[in-house]
Structure 1
Amino acid sequence: MSAQKRQLLFKILVIGDVGTGKSSIVRRYVHNIFNQYYKATVGVDFAMKVVMWDATTLIRLQLWDISGQDRFGNMTRVYYKDAHGAVIVFDATRENTYEGALKWKDDLDSKVTLADGNPVPAILLANKVDLENNVSEDVLKEYGSKNNFVASFRTSAKENLGLEDAFRTLTQHIIDTQEEGQYEIPVIQRDPNVRRIDATDERWYTYSNSERRRCC
């Protein structure tokens, strides 16, 4: 008889300034699609990535693609609630978005923490490295380490560069944190009154052909 598979559900925030390519990253990672004319997110969009982590573990990554304008509002506390980790994105060709990434990190750390008071795992993505005049890997690594990101990656949603490694690294950090008992919420919600998201139900996929689901 085959071993019963363990199923985990992780909530991951995708945050950063307007125009850094957050939605393109989510779309490429989940559906392997890129469209440079994608409209800016309003509020929050959702997408689900199902990963067969190993022979006995299936992981659903629930990605919350949050509008780049929302750091200036009061809704981020609602969006951040019960997050297991975060992807913070900046535009590798726009220096002003570097500082924006740190402001998002500060906002995240002030609103959601682990049981021991430390920040939830967050990775830093320098997106659009397919374009000229982008940040070097050495500068990025130093910048990310200095500002308490668990890892930093040069990525391109257009060319599909670096995304698999980035999300796998974040997922491993989340698993390690969960095994240390640092999340104050269960990794899998078992409340019978809460509807579980079915990863096979395309209605819940942000970029499916069906109606898009938004939080607000």
Structure 2
Amino acid sequence: MSESVFKVLVIGEPSVGKTSMVARYCYRDWIENYKATVGADYAVKTIKWSTTDTVRLHIWDIAGQDHYRAMTRTYYKGASGCIVLFDLTNKRSFTEAKTWKEDLDSKVLLSNGDTIPCLLVANKDDLPDKRVTHNEIAKFAKDSGFFHWSPVSVKDNRNITESICQLIQKMLDQEKESAQANPPGQVDEDVLNLHRPEPEPKHSGCCGGNG
């Protein structure tokens, strides 16, 4: 019996349905009128993935207001996967999904240096007054580095579990690849280098780095 534990972020603009989606998925609740998230909320969901495997998700619902964005580096730390949510009836929430994805990719990476798996989710698919077409979303998702996108209706509880299962499978695949690349007992070269004397620094006319 094995258990995989993943930290999953849910990010996007305010009022697109992040808190409602987490409540639907974790507690089967429908929240129509909710208070804006302050900073970040946290929920845990345990899934019996197979007869021998369990997946435990630590889901972080990140506030979308501008004044919380300076804190996203702290919230993103240690994440294995992410959901960027937008509202199909709100075109700005769709265009801003790119900003959220870029912010995510600049602040959290997997151990091999790759960006974490990210799923684009289009909420309010039950409403008729959509402002974005499926073709637009598919092109945007591909161009922006999302591994997949899914239309959902949090209100109708439609396609939420199926969408998150795709993210879980992606994270499990990534976990397996990481385990194969770093088998138990293997000593990383960077660790060995810690025991070697530091070379004399070479001075140049400028300093660089990603910070």
* TM-score band w.r.t. shorter chain: 0.7 to 0.9
What is the distance in 2 between the residues matched to 1:165 and 1:73? 29
What is the distance in 2 between the residues matched to 1:128 and 1:77? 29
What is the SS of the residue equivalent to 1:146?
A: helix
Q: One-letter code of the match for 2:97?
A: A
Aligned length: 178
In the other structure, the counterpart of 1:87 is 83
In the other structure, the counterpart of 1:181 is 178
Change (3 A) 1:152 1:72: same
**Normalization by structure 2: what TM-score?**
0.81
1:50 aligns with 2:43: no
What is the distance in 2 between the residues matched to 1:127 and 1:90? 6
Asked if the contact 2:76/2:104 (under 8 Å) is kept, the reply is yes
In the other structure, the counterpart of 1:99 is 95
1:158 aligns with 2:155: yes
In the other structure, the counterpart of 2:188 is none
- Sequence identity (%): 39
Q: One-letter code of the match for 1:58?
A: T
In the other structure, the counterpart of 2:134 is 137
What is the SS of the residue equivalent to 1:75?
A: helix
| Alignment deviations for residues 124-143 of structure 1 (CA, whole Å, 9 cap, x no partner) | 00111111222333332222
Q: One-letter code of the match for 2:102?
A: D
What is the distance in 2 between the residues matched to 1:118 and 1:73? 22
Return the offset for 1:145: 1.3
1:32 aligns with 2:28: yes
Asked if the contact 1:71/1:107 (under 8 Å) is kept, the reply is no
Segments of 5+ residues of structure 1 without an aligned counterpart are 183-216
Q: What CA RMSD, in Å, does the superposition of the two structures yield over aligned residues?
A: 1.4
Asked if the contact 1:8/1:60 (under 8 Å) is kept, the reply is yes
What is the SS of the residue equivalent to 1:124?
A: strand
What is the SS of the residue equivalent to 2:135?
A: helix
- Of structures 1 and 2, the one with the larger relative CO (CA 8 A, separation 6+) is 1
In the other structure, the counterpart of 1:60 is 56
What is the SS of the residue equivalent to 2:166?
A: helix
The answer to which of 173-182 and 18-27 deviates more is 173-182
What is the SS of the residue equivalent to 1:161?
A: coil
Asked if the contact 2:39/2:68 (under 8 Å) is kept, the reply is no
What is the SS of the residue equivalent to 2:49?
A: strand
- Between Structure 1 and Structure 2, whose CA radius of gyration is higher? 2
- 1:95-134 matches, within 5 Å, as 95-134=91-130
Return the offset for 1:175: 0.5
Asked if the contact 1:71/1:104 (under 8 Å) is kept, the reply is no
Segments of 5+ residues of structure 2 without an aligned counterpart are 180-211
What is the SS of the residue equivalent to 2:70?
A: coil
